[in-house]
Structure formats: structure tokens, C-alpha cells
């Protein structure tokens, strides 16, 4: 009897042990199972800007890491981290410098890891989704009509985001200080109302600037000059924007059109036409150029079925107005640019444009209006000498290379430098080889400008800086 009870108890104890092990094994899984991906749903199709939302225990503590792995990514993982409410925005239409999509259409796995404030993992979850931005050509086998269709009374809101950066071929600190105001950003928002329109014939549109600011290095933040103003414009069916009346003005940041062909086009079709571009955002002055266009593909963008049009344009040896420091300056440049236009073909609307312009230019700093002191100034010390190279003096107080310059009798100390020079009558002529701009120096070569501590201010000495100036400007319908 005892043996039987012992045997039965032993079997019972074994089951208890197994159950306890199972419970212990399930504890970590239960903790990890509390981490969830609330959206998008597992197995869903996504496009455009995808909101990835997660949930985790103790949301007031720690953060969530998001990894996206999939088509065309190889071993790379796009990673982001967000705090409560744990929403990460995945821009599935992001493009690299070559214009190719970072995330091509295909299958992706969204991995979410929850971490506490000490960075210790608390849970993990993942969902699988299919990215589908492209529209199959079978949906528009006969092509799409590229022409505006304006409806009277329609209202739209747009935003523009611009960025600019100048990178010198050879870095120069003083030049970088003077040209710092080329680097910065600007944001602008405006509203559009169709005042009159008759479908394919175009119509009148009023644009009202609602918000905007400019932030550039070394310059006080300023508002967009057109803030609060309204502009009434005539918009043609092919997208060309013109002034309604001669006395009206253009809204430069909101009129970057390209002339559409006004006919049905298929993917791969090309055409040439005029387009309005913005070579620089510091001053914001449009230029009308000839562009080369191709209907590159069909895709969803911002909830619209769009024709994606890629345009290229270029100009060389042209003067473009820039705002540097406190003044407006025209600089000679050559530039190449590219634009992506997203045209909602079912609605006859341009819903977004993305521009990138790259300048190759040489800047003469002595001609910059409102630039820093020291370039092209007289008696400014070492920093103003020959573009701040720090010129050393040669034998007898002469600058290097000047030893061969013809001297008058009595040597450099007796050389007349113009009106007021010791021992020289007013208006005395300059000897051959005298430094440019010396006519106005009331000193002798021996003194080299006593007021500048023995340094020679030689008038407007040009200093040239070469480099690449990249400007990007994107406009989207809100």
C-alpha cells in the first residue's frame, strides 16, 4: 500500500515539476508577447508615408527601436528610435543621391524592439508587409493625359522646404566666414484658391502666403518677404503661370511650373518645354529655362495616382542674384538641375515637385556686397593683405617679388606715392610697377602705410573661391 501510494505520489510530483518548468519557460515569452506592432497590420500592403505604431509595457519609460529589412536592402537595416507614443514615420518614397528609391517595391519585415530607460530589451515583435508604390502600366495602358484641370472654388494648401550649402574646393576659414550666409534653410506655406476656371482651359488662381521664415548662418532669422501678401495669377492648361495684370508681381517660391505637353503620354515618352526654376533660395528669383522631360513612371504619391516626370535643365555663364550677408549680389555661375514632378493625372493637378540644383562657380570676394571687412579694404592689417595670406616683407621692406620694381633716386623711402607723399608734389605721377590703387595712399613706400602698422593696403585685392553650391527645394500639397 505504501509502495503504491509512493509510486502514485512520485508520478504526481513529476507532473508538478514538468508543469513548473513549462510555466517558467512561458514567463519570458509572455513578457515579450506584450510588445506589439499596432500598425500596419501583418500581411498588409503599404505605400507613401507609413506610420509604424508600436506598444510596450511601461510606455512612460524607455523607447522603441524600429528596423526595416526587405527588398533591395541586403544586409542593411534602416533603423529609427522613438519614444511614446511610439510612432515612427517610414518614408517609403525616399530617394538616394542618384534618384533611385531607397525602398523599392517588394516584401519587407518591420521589426520592433522595446527597450527600457537603461537600454535593456523588454520585448520584440515583427510584421510583414508588401510595399507597393508603383502603379502597374496595365491600369493606364492607353497612357495618361498631362494637362491641368482647374475647378472654380477649389482650395489647396502647399508647403515649400528649401536647403542650401556651399562647399569650397579648398577650404579657407576667412572665405567661409564671408560666405556662411549661403548656408541655411527656408520654409514657406501658402494657400491657393481657384477664382475662375473652365476645366481644360486653365483659370485664375490666387496664392496667399501664410507662413514662412529663413534661417541662414551668420544672419538674423527673417520672415519670407512676401508673408501675408496675395498674388493673382493666370494659370494655363499646360501649367504655365503668367501675371494676370502687368502691375502684378510673381510669387517666386510658388510658381515653379513646367509646360506640360497637353496630350496623352505613355511611360517613357519625352518632350522639351520651358520651365520655371529657382537656382537659389537666399534671394528667391525664378528663371525660365528650357527643360528636357520624360514620363518616368506611374506611382501613388500623397494618396494620389501620379505620373512621375523627371526633368533636367542647365545654364552656363549666367548671372544669378544671391543674398550674401547683408546685401544682394549677382554672381556668375553655371548650374545643372533636376526636378521630379508628381502630377495627379486623374485630377489634373501637380501635387508635388522636388528640385535639386548644383552650381559650379568661382566667387570674387572683393565684389561681395555686405560682406565682411578685410577684403579689398585699405589699411586693414594682415587680414586684409592679399586675401589674408599673411604676406611677408622682403629685403628693405619690400614685398616678395618686388625687388625688381624700378625705384626712383633715393630708394624706396623717397618714392612718391601720390598727393601728400613726402617730397612729392600733388598729383605726382606713379613710377612704372607701382602697386595698383597706390595713388590714394598718403604715405611712402618706405613706410608702407604707417597707419596699418607697416602693412600695405593695396586697394581692391580680389580673392577668388571656387566650389559647389547645392540648392534643394521641395513643394508638396498638404
In SS3 terms, the chain reads as CHHHHHHHHHHHHHHHHHHHHHHHHHHHHHHHHCCEEEECCCCCEECCEEEEEEECCCCCCCEEEEEEEECCCCCCCEEEEECCCCEEEEECCCECCCCCECCCCEEEEEEEEEECCCCCEEEEEEEEEEECCECCHHHHCCCEECCCCECCCCEEEEEEEEEEEEEECCCCHHHHHHCHHHCEEEEEEEEEEEEEECECCCEEEEEEEEEEEEEECCCCCEECCCCCCEEEEEECCCCCEEECCCCCCCCHHHCCCECCCCCEECCCCEEEEEEEECCCCCCCCCEEEEEEEEEEEEEEECCEEEEEEEEEEEEEEEEEEEEECCEEEEEEEEEEEEEEEEEECCCCEEEEEEEEEEEEEEEEHHHCCCCCCCCCCCCCCHHHCCCCCCCCCCHHHCCCCCCCCCCCCCCHHHCCCCCCCCCCCCCCCCCCCCCCCHHHCCCCCCCCCHHHCCCCCCCCCCCEEEEEEEEEEEEEEC
- Give the least confident one: 44-53, 154-163, 315-324, 425-434: 425-434
CA-CA-CA-CA torsion for 401, 406, 412, 417, nearest 10 degrees?
A: -100
pTM for the model: 0.72
What domains does the chain contain, in order, with CATH numbers? 30-131 (2.60.40.10), 139-361+468-477 (2.30.230)
Any idea how long the chain is? 478
Per the CB < 8 A criterion, the answer to whether 275 and 291 are in contact is yes
Residue 199's pLDDT band (cuts 50, 70, 90) = low
* Residues in CB range of 344: below 8 A, 6 or more apart: 301, 304, 305, 306, 350, 351
Residue given cell 534653410 in the structure block? 185
Per the CB < 8 A criterion, the answer to whether 197 and 150 are in contact is yes
The per-residue pLDDT for 32 is: 47
C-alpha distances in Å from residue 239, one per residue of 67, 295, 342: 41, 16, 13
Q: Pull the grid cell for residue 101.
A: 528609391
- What's the chain's Rg over C-alpha atoms? 34
Per the CB < 8 A criterion, the answer to whether 107 and 128 are in contact is yes
CA–CA distance, 398 with 79 (Å, rounded to integer):
62
The per-residue pLDDT for 73 is: 62
- For residues 253-268, give the mean pLDDT: 95
Per the CB < 8 A criterion, the answer to whether 233 and 244 are in contact is yes
Residue 426's pLDDT band (cuts 50, 70, 90) = very low
Residue given cell 554672381 in the structure block? 331
CA–CA distance, 324 with 347 (Å, rounded to integer):
41
Tens of pLDDT, residues 70-89: 876 655 666 789 999 999 99
Residue given cell 513646367 in the structure block? 258
Cis peptide bond upstream of 40, omega within 30: yes
- For residues 376-402, give the mean pLDDT: 37
The per-residue pLDDT for 394 is: 40
Tens of pLDDT, residues 318-368: 999 999 987 889 999 999 999 999 999 999 999 999 999 999 999 999 888
Taking the mean position of all CA atoms in its chain, how far away is CA 43? 35
* Residues in CB range of 338: below 8 A, 6 or more apart: 99, 310, 311, 312, 313, 355, 356
Q: Is the pLDDT of residue 450 over 80?
A: no
Rounded mean pLDDT of the chain? 79
CA–CA distance, 115 with 100 (Å, rounded to integer):
33
The per-residue pLDDT for 75 is: 54
Residue bearing the bigger pLDDT, 332 or 96: 332
CA–CA distance, 356 with 279 (Å, rounded to integer):
9
C-alpha distances in Å from residue 478, one per residue of 157, 271, 352: 5, 29, 10
- Give the least confident one: 28-42, 102-116, 225-239: 28-42
Residue 316's pLDDT band (cuts 50, 70, 90) = very high
CA–CA distance, 157 with 349 (Å, rounded to integer):
13
CA–CA distance, 431 with 420 (Å, rounded to integer):
16
Per the CB < 8 A criterion, the answer to whether 161 and 185 are in contact is yes
Q: Pull the grid cell for residue 181.
A: 550666409
- For residues 4-8, give the mean pLDDT: 47
CA–CA distance, 85 with 68 (Å, rounded to integer):
19
Q: Is the pLDDT of residue 271 over 80?
A: yes
Amino acid at each position: 500500500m505504501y509502495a503504491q501510494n509512493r509510486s502514485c505520489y512520485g508520478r504526481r510530483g513529476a507532473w508538478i515539476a514538468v508543469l513548473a518548468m513549462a510555466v517558467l519557460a512561458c514567463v519570458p515569452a509572455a513578457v515579450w508577447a506584450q510588445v506589439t506592432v499596432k500598425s500596419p497590420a501583418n500581411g498588409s500592403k503599404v505605400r507613401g508615408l507609413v506610420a509604424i505604431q508600436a506598444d510596450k509595457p511601461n510606455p512612460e519609460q524607455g523607447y522603441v527601436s524600429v528596423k526595416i529589412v526587405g527588398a533591395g536592402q541586403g544586409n542593411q537595416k534602416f533603423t529609427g528610435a522613438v519614444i511614446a507614443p511610439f510612432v515612427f514615420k517610414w518614408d517609403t518614397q525616399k530617394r538616394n543621391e542618384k534618384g533611385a528609391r531607397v525602398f523599392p517595391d517588394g516584401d519587407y519585415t518591420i521589426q520592433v524592439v522595446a527597450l527600457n530607460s537603461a537600454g535593456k530589451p523588454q520585448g520584440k515583435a515583427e510584421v510583414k508587409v508588401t510595399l507597393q508604390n508603383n502603379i502597374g502600366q496595365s491600369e493606364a495602358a492607353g497612357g495618361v493625359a498631362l494637362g491641368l484641370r482647374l475647378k472654380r472654388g477649389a482650395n489647396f494648401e502647399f508647403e515649400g522646404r528649401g536647403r542650401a550649402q556651399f562647399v569650397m574646393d579648398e577650404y579657407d576659414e576667412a572665405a567661409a566666414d564671408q560666405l556662411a550666409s549661403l548656408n541655411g534653410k527656408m520654409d514657406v506655406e501658402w494657400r491657393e484658391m481657384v477664382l475662375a476656371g473652365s476645366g481644360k482651359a486653365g483659370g485664375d488662381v490666387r496664392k496667399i502666403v501664410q507662413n514662412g521664415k529663413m534661417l541662414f548662418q551668420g544672419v538674423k532669422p527673417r520672415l519670407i518677404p512676401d508673408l501675408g501678401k496675395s498674388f493673382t495669377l493666370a494659370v494655363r492648361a499646360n501649367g504655365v503661370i503668367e501675371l494676370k495684370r502687368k502691375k502684378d508681381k510673381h510669387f517666386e517660391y510658388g510658381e515653379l511650373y513646367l509646360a506640360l505637353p497637353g496630350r496623352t503620354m505613355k511611360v517613357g515618352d519625352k518632350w522639351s518645354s520651358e520651365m520655371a526654376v529657382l537656382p537659389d533660395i537666399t534671394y528667391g528669383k525664378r528663371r525660365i529655362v528650357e527643360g528636357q522631360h520624360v514620363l518616368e513612371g506611374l506611382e501613388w504619391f500623397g494618396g494620389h495616382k501620379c505620373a512621375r516626370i523627371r526633368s533636367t535643365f542647365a545654364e552656363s555663364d549666367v548671372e544669378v542674384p544671391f543674398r550674401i550677408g547683408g546685401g544682394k549680389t549677382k554672381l556668375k555661375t553655371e548650374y545643372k538641375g533636376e526636378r521630379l514632378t508628381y502630377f495627379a493625372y486623374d485630377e489634373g493637378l501637380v501635387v508635388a515637385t522636388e528640385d535639386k540644383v548644383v552650381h559650379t562657380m568661382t566667387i570674387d570676394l572683393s565684389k561681395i556686397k555686405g560682406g565682411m571687412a578685410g577684403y579689398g579694404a585699405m589699411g586693414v592689417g594682415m587680414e586684409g593683405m592679399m586675401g589674408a595670406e599673411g604676406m611677408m616683407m622682403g629685403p628693405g621692406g619690400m614685398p616678395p617679388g618686388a625687388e625688381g620694381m624700378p625705384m626712383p633716386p633715393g630708394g624706396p623711402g623717397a618714392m612718391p606715392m601720390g598727393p601728400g607723399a613726402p617730397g612729392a608734389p600733388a598729383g605726382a605721377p606713379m613710377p612704372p610697377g607701382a602697386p595698383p590703387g597706390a595713388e590714394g595712399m598718403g604715405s611712402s613706400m618706405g613706410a608702407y602705410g604707417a597707419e596699418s602698422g607697416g602693412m600695405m593696403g593695396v586697394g581692391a585685392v580680389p580673392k577668388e573661391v571656387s566650389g559647389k553650391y547645392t540648392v534643394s527645394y521641395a513643394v508638396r500639397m498638404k
